Amino acid sequence: MHRKKLHASPAWLFKTETDELLDPALFRLLKSVHDSGKLTLAAQQTGISYRHAWNLLKRGNDFFGVPLAVKRKGHGTQLSPLGETLLWSEQRIKARLGPQIDSMASELNIQLQQLLAGAHPVLRLHASHGYAVALLPDFSDRVELDLQYTNPTEALRALASGESDLASFHFPACPRLADQVMAIYKHQFDLDNLRVIRFVTRRQGLIIRSDSRGAITGLQDLTRPGVRLINRNRHSGTRILFKLLLDECGITERQLHGAEREEFTHTAVAAYVAAGMADAGFGVAAAAAQFGLEFLDLATEHYLLVCQEERLRQQNIRQLLSLMASPEFLAEIDKLPGYAPDRCGEICTFAELLGGDRQ
C-alpha cells in the first residue's frame, strides 16, 4: 500500500506593503536564542551558519525598526521584548490551530491513500485532543486512522450516529469525581452495548511559570487579586474536571480573573502561560513540560476509547488493539510527562473499569 503522507503546520507570514517577506527561519532562530542564550549555538540548532543567523536578526531589525535580540557582553544573546512577543505569537498559533490542522491533514491523507491504493476501510476516531492519542497517526504503517479532534459531547454523538468507529472519553480516577462526570454524559451512553478500550492515565493540574511557584500553590490562590487565569473551552472534558475541583474547594469561576478567556487545547493553555499573558492555567503535565513550566498535580484521569461491541470484530480495530499493546507504542507513551499506559488495548465495560477504581 502507498504510504504518502502530508504534514501541515501553521505559521505567520510577515510582509511589508511592498511585498518584502520576512524569512520564516527567523522564528526557529528566535526559539533557539531563547532556549540557549547564545547566537552561535542557536545557529547550529537552527541548521544555519552564524553569519546567516546574524543576517536574519539584522533583517528582522530592519523589517520592524526595533531589535529582536540584544547581545550583552558576558551574558550571551537575549531576545528583546519584541523578539519574545514574536516568538510566543508563533508558539501560540501552533498550539491553538495545530489540532484543527491535524484533523484537516488527516482527512487529506485519507483521501490520498484512497486515490493511490484504492478504496479501503479506514478507522475513524473522534477524540479530545491529547498527547497520547496524537501518537496514533505516527504508526500509520500499523493501522490507518482518520483522527478528528473534538470535545467529548461531539465525539460521543458521532459514535452514536455511526459517523465514527471510536470515540475518546476521559474521567477522573477518583470515584467521587468519576460519578459526577459519568452523570453529565449519562444520556449519551448505551452502557449495554458500549465497550471500553483501556488506554492511558494522565495527570491534570495547574500550569504556572517558575516565578509564580511561591504565589500559586493550589486552587484557592487563583482567587487572589492580580492572579490571571487562562481557561479551557467550556465544552471540554478538562473544563468540566476543573469546575468539579473548584466546586470541592467552594470556588466559583466568577471569582477567577480571566475565567472567561478560553483556549481549545492543553498546549494552547501552556503557551498562553509561558508567554506571560496569564499566571495559571489548568491542563496536563505534558503541556507544562513542553514549555518548561511548573506543574501542580491535582487529579489523575483515565483517558480511554469507546466503541460499540460489534465494532470489536473489525479487522482495523484489532490492528489498533495490537498497536496499543506493542512495546514500540508503549515506549512512546513512556516519554510523555504525566502519562502512563493503563492496561493499554485491553477491553472492558464501564462497570468493570469504574468498579476497579473503588477496590
CB atoms within 10 A of CB 153: 14
Distance CA 183, CA 251 (A): 21
pTM of the predicted model as reported, rounded to 2 decimal places: 0.83
Check residue 2 and give its pLDDT: 47
In single-letter form, the type of residue at position 64 comes to: F
- 341 has a pLDDT exceeding 80: yes
Average pLDDT over residues 48-59: 91
**In the predicted model, what is the mean pLDDT of the chain?**
89
pLDDT, tens digit (0-9, with 9 covering 90-100), for 160-175: 999 999 999 999 999 9
d(CA 306, CA 131): 18
Q: Which residue did the predictor score with more confidence, 14 or 26?
A: 26
Q: What is the rounded distance in angstroms from the CA atom of residue 353 to the CA atom of residue 334?
A: 22
How close are the terminal C-alpha atoms of the chain, in Å? 47
Calpha distance 280→288 (Å, rounded): 11
Task: Give the model confidence (pLDDT) of 250-268 as tens digits.
Answer: 999 999 999 999 998 999 9
* Nearest of 277, 204, 219, 285 to residue 253 by alpha carbon: 219
- Over range 285-308, report the average pLDDT: 96
Indicate whether 356 pLDDT > 90: no
Q: What phi and psi values does residue 138 have, to the nearest 5 degrees? A: -70, -15
Confidence of residue 236 (pLDDT cuts 50, 70, 90): very high
Q: Under DSSP, is residue 137 helix (H, G, I), strand (E, B) or coil?
A: helix
Which residues are within 8 A (CB) of 208 and not within 5 positions of it... i.e. 6 or more apart?
A: 216, 273, 279, 280, 293, 294, 295, 296
